[in-house]
Amino acid sequence: MHPAPSVIIFTVLSGLGFGLLTFLGLGMPKVTGWEAFFYFAIAYALAVGGLVSSTFHLGNPQRALKAFTQWRSSWLSREAWLSTFALIVLAVFGAAAVFVGVTIAPLGLLGTLLSLATVLATAMIYAQLKTVPRWNHWLTPLHMLTVSLAGGAIIAQQTTAAIVLLLAAGGVQILHWVLGDRRFGERGHTIETATGLGDRGKARLFEPPHTGSNYLLKEMAHVVGRKHAQKLRIISFVAMILIPLIIVALLPVNPFTAALATLFYLVGAFASRWLFFAEAEHVVRLYYGASGSEPPYQPSFSS
Amino acid sequence: MTLLPETTEKKLGLVIDLDTCVGCHACVTACKGWNTENYGAPLSDTDAYGGDPVGTFLNRIHSYEVEPKGGGCSQTVHFPKSCLHCEDAPCVTVCPTGASYKRTEDGIVLVNEDACIGCGLCAWACPYGAREMDPTAGVMKKCTLCVDRIYNDNLPEEDRVPACVRTCPAGARHFGDFADPDSNVSKLVAERGGIDLMPEQGTKPVNKYLPPRPKDQLQDMDVLTPLLEPVAEEPKGFLAWLDKRLEAL
């Protein structure tokens, strides 16, 4: 799949923002006044910044409010509602903490649950797609949840939670990569099932439908950068999991070490999310002659 | 509303005969023409005449080569592909705005372009590559089954079929109601063993494909073969003398 920057920025930053809000809602850390202001400002900048970024890949962003209408069937619509509810509930909770110095625990808990549900809804947008076998697995929501919460725990300076969540996120990330590599083959989608010509013999693409490229190839048959995938996985894992783990576990807990760990986490998370898209194979590639590790048709020239 | 209807009164769709299609791309052109000049945003070309032509199409013809299992000649299969108007259309349920919907009366899957935000999720959800985002209008385009032709009383009756069906010079495309077991398309599917594309995706496509008939096998030598023995390879008589003289020159 095409790794669109707007969607990568959105899922990473919003994920981190809602991860942080999850902890703030639980009163971890229990902050009031100016301290609370800074924590909530960071969380809202990340969550809202990410959500705004997500509208940049829309063809007609001026109609984005219509995305609230189909919550009964669409995870994207549910994400819109849940993120709005989470932001409103925690705005009240945050305002009470900042201006009145009061922590309304039940409201915080509700905000925490809504933040978790938002990250889950984001993940389900991808996990629901049968057409992308690598994503269509329960590990995808678990992956996005653990990555979000690990990042939130780092900024919230919750040492124990951060260590546990980073270990969990690392484990799930490796599983998601290793099992993901096999998913397409396991699903049994081939050029023969795609064309229905399998009972006749072995099919291969003789001629693509067009000499240039098209939306489908650009969007769903992305092949650029696959050769660096292993290196990027290592970079991602070291930056997102190992370095923050070392910083959180060994260095003193203060805002500076938290910021340092967050920076490394972000570099790794962006690499991980880039791979999440770039490595995901859509079944439509079969119609363009892809089979096994063979890439689909790509136009030989480009302007 | 992007919830799918439980049933539709009619199931309008296409039968595509892979045995008959000659891969001429006439249906591609007819489709592009009709759907650029009529319902909805035109199908734009971002580069129509350059070295890397790119544009939006609702119907595309792939060509495949099939190597028969038991050996023998490979078979070329021209393979038109457009929206299959699935009964369990995954493109409909993922739509956040309700722009993507399946009609209760005839099962046609359509996009309400005024409500489409151009997020592209429906194209991701479609296994068949049937939806393409128009880069100029920023809305999702897909086959409408020429909904503005098939019910159009202003057109002569023979034109009230999708443009691709009307134009196909080989008669490889058929339009009809799959809910009616006596319709032309239902009979074709029953007679020729019509198949679903990628059935393991569980989309229950309405459009069906008729598999190509197996190619004729090369039988034993023809009875006339002995009569076709090659004539003498070495020249004789005068020609032999001429041949030798010419060699000697």
Q: Domain map of chain B by residue range?
A: 12-210
Range A147-174 burial, b when 16+ CB lie within 10 A, else e = bbbbbbbbbbbbeebbbebbebbbebbe
**Where exactly are the structural domains of chain A?**
1-128, 158-303
Nearest to B127 among A64, A131, A211 (CB): A131
Q: How far apart are CA B41 and CA B115, in angstroms?
A: 13
Provide the H-helix boundaries in A74-212: 75-95, 105-127, 139-155, 159-187, 191-195
Range B177-195 burial, b when 16+ CB lie within 10 A, else e = bbbeeebebbebbeebebb
User: A217 pLDDT exceeds 80?
Assistant: yes
Which residues from B are below 8 Å from A73, CB to CB?
2-3, 92-95
- Share of residues in chain B with pLDDT > 90 (%): 73
pLDDT in tens, B13-50: 999 999 999 999 999 999 999 999 988 899 999 888 88
Which residues from A are below 8 Å from B92, CB to CB?
73
ipTM of model: 0.92
Q: How far apart are CA A235 and CA A233, in angstroms?
A: 6
User: A49 pLDDT exceeds 60?
Assistant: yes
pLDDT in tens, B173-188: 999 999 999 999 999 9
Query: Is-contact A133 A149, C-beta < 8 A?
Result: no
Length of chain A equals 303
Q: How far apart are CA B76 and CA B66, in angstroms?
A: 6
Nearest to A193 among B50, B68, B198 (CB): B198
Phi-psi domain of B198 (left: phi exceeds 0; alpha: psi -120 through 50; beta: other): left
pTM for this entry = 0.90
Which residues from B are below 8 Å from A59, CB to CB?
116-120, 133-134, 137-140
Task: Return the bridge partners of B209, or none.
Answer: B16, B195
Omega prior to B68 cis, within 30 of 0: no
Taking an 8 Å cut-off on Cβ atoms, the answer to whether A284 and B67 are in contact is no
Confidence (pLDDT) at A302: 46
Confidence (pLDDT) at B218: 65
Highest mean pLDDT among A89-98, A182-191, A199-208: A89-98
Query: Looking at CA atoms only, how far is residue B248 from chain A in angstroms?
Result: 52
Taking an 8 Å cut-off on Cβ atoms, the answer to whether A75 and B127 are in contact is no
Interface contacts A/B by beta carbons within 8 Å: 209
Helix, strand, coil percent values for chain A (each to nearest 5): 70, 5, 25
User: A303 pLDDT exceeds 60?
Assistant: no
DSSP secondary structure letter of residue A291: B
Helices A255-278, A159-187: axis angle to 10 degrees equals 0
Q: How far apart are CA B83 and CA A157, in angstroms?
A: 51
Q: How far apart are CA A237 and CA A80, in angstroms?
A: 30
Confidence of residue A224 (pLDDT cuts 50, 70, 90): low
Closest chain A residue to B62, measured at CA: A209
User: A141 pLDDT exceeds 90?
Assistant: yes
Domain B12-210 has CATH 3.30.70.20: yes
Confidence (pLDDT) at B228: 76
Q: How far apart are CA B110 and CA B187, in angstroms?
A: 26
What are the tokens at A269? 């998370």
